[in-house]
Amino acid sequence: MTLTVGELRTALSGTVFAPEDAGYDEARRLWNAEHVREPAVIAQVHSAEDVQAAVRYAVAEGLEIAVRGGGHNMAGLSSVDGGLMIDLSRLNQVAVDPEARRARVGGGALLRDLDGATQEHGLAVPAGIVSHTGVGGLTLGGGMGLLTRMHGLSIDNLESIQVVTADGSILRAAEDENADLFWAVRGGGGNFGVVTEFEFRLHRVGPIVNYGIAFWGQEQGSEMLRAARDVIPALPREVNVVIACLNAPPAPFVPAEHHFKLGYALVMVGFGSPEQHAEAMARIRGLVPPLFEFATPMPYAAVQQLLDEPNAWGAFHYEKGTYLEALTDAAIDVITDQVPRKTSPMSATMFYHLDQGYLETPDDATAFSGQRGERYAMFVIATTPVLEALEPERAWARSFWDAMQPHAISIGSYVNGMAEPEEARIRASYGDKYDRLVELKRKYDPDNVFHRNQNINPAAAGS
């Protein structure tokens, strides 16, 4: 016996929206304004049991399912036309046990919810760098950010999950229970169910950390990148550096003559002593003098929110990423040739150097889409304020990605950075893990109920 929409409303403790209901348009809205979806039903759930009822309803009715956490999916896969959106945004509680250094986090929590609750106790878990990102989507793909050099990825700090699978079961997955599923969700994305709770290990962080940014002009790009590739790997573990190719923001710490200037920046966040951070800044400054720099102690939670406004809701986005084994001279030549070709000052290219804590989890311990060898994760992010400007920026990002491929490890990338989740790239990203993921998909979701993601197709042939 199947439920009607009215009966689904009765079955849920949360709210059910149909297109004619007040609140529907706000509930269906996504971060990337390019994607405007019209679900037939939105289930704004409050519990795992609500998710269970919503999944069973959608399967019985033959409705395509999308799962929305923070709504940040670049490809707009967290909503669906004519199907059921499971909206986890009200499932956002964070409970911290400071003695055990553990946090239980609802599947719809945002990074700011997680950081806010854990920083009350001087604790944190590695996560992303935009605080209105959803914890769930970020974590299930891997989760890299400012703490990755010290403590690895988000998934490397995951103790257990609660998940609703395609048959409507509510399962716990951890090393000691449903261990195969626990392996798969740590990097396998949303392929295996709707995660309603994460349990994380926490680390001592902050509450005050040392923030610094140094900026070089376009003509200094090659010299700066060559210096950075030598200095960054040798920095102490407590100093994390992100390379950014961008237009200087019109911020108070940026001299007026450099506002919007195209160039290259190093963002340096130090989790050790102020002296250690100052010495790291000095090492870069001494090699290539920047146009300007800024350094200050800052609350960790504030650092995590610095990119919120440049990545605010309502803009139009596209992204392509890849992995580089090294910043070779040839790769740097491509970077400095391609960066000036963008037309939107909102677009940016970022590089995370992955080493130290990233390397300390064995490659086969999780399903993560990147081998645990030292490397750079590259993200080419096209962003425009209006839809009409997006297509030229999309073309720029694709052209940049194509030009980098001779210097990339493979056509694969970090799956969270895929705006176009093509099967060939997904296979390449997971490499030898792909076939195992297919077998687990057949076990936990044989009908591919959860396919609006970087999809592992249960019908895929062996690679």
Q: Is residue 290 part of a domain?
A: yes
Question: Are 194 and 228 contained in the same domain?
Answer: no
| Residue 178 CB neighbours (<10 A) | 19
Least confident of 4-18, 35-49, 209-223: 4-18
Last residue of a domain, one of 186, 204, 222: 204
Report the pLDDT value the prediction gives residue 462, as an integer from 0 to 100: 61
Q: Do residues 64 and 199 both lie within one domain?
A: no
Q: Which residues pair with 350 in a beta bridge?
A: 244, 379
Domain match, 34 and 161 both: no
Q: How far apart are the first and last CA of the chain?
A: 40
- Residue 227: the pLDDT is 94
Tell me the pLDDT tens digit for each residue of 170-218.
999 999 999 999 999 999 999 999 999 999 999 999 999 999 999 999 9
- In tens, the pLDDT along 57-95 reads 999 999 999 999 999 999 999 999 999 999 999 999 999
How is residue 274 written in tokens?
Answer: 């102020």
Could you tell me the CATH number of the domain that includes residue 73? 3.30.43.10
Classify residue 284: in a domain, yes or no: yes
Greatest CA span in the chain, whole angstroms? 72
pLDDT of residue 2 exceeding 60: no
Q: What is the model's pLDDT at position 135?
A: 98
| Residue 432 CB-density burial (10 A; 0-12 exposed, 13-18 middle, 19+ buried) | exposed
Residues 215 and 240 in one domain: yes
Map residue 160 onto helix, strand or coil: strand
Average pLDDT of the segment spanning 316-331: 96
Amino acid at 302: A
Clarify whether residues 256 and 391 are in a common domain: yes
Q: Enter the tokens of residue 237.
A: 């573990």
274: alpha, beta or left? (left if phi > 0; alpha if psi -120 to 50): alpha
Q: Report helix angle 390-404 to 329-338, nearest 10.
A: 170
User: Is 259 found in the same domain as 372?
Assistant: yes
Residue that finishes a domain, picked among 72, 87, 102: 87
Per-residue pLDDT, 328: 97
Phi-psi region of 189 (alpha: psi -120 to 50; beta: other; left: phi over 0): left
**Averaged pLDDT for residues 433-452:** 97
How many domains does one find in the chain? Answer: 3
**Position of tokens 């961008």?**
246
Q: What is the pTM of this model?
A: 0.95
**CATH number, position 311:** 3.40.462.20
Asked if residue 378 has pLDDT above 80, the reply is yes
413 and 299 both lie in a single domain: yes
- 424 in a domain, yes or no? no
Of the pLDDT bands very low, low, confident and very high (cuts 50, 70, 90), residue 1 is very low
Asked if residue 168 and residue 66 are part of one domain, the reply reads: no
* Reported confidence tier of residue 104, pLDDT bands at 50, 70, 90: very high
Q: Provide the mean pLDDT of the chain.
A: 95
- Are 75 and 14 within one domain? yes
Same domain, 287 and 325: yes
> Do 228 and 311 lie in a common domain?
yes
Residues 186 and 235 in one domain: no
Residue 228: which pLDDT band, with cuts at 50, 70 and 90? very high
What's the rounded mean pLDDT across residues 35-64? 96
The alpha carbon of residue 237 and the mean position of all alpha carbons in its chain are separated, in whole angstroms, by: 22
Domain that holds residue 74: 10-87
Q: What is the mean pLDDT of residues 313-323?
A: 96
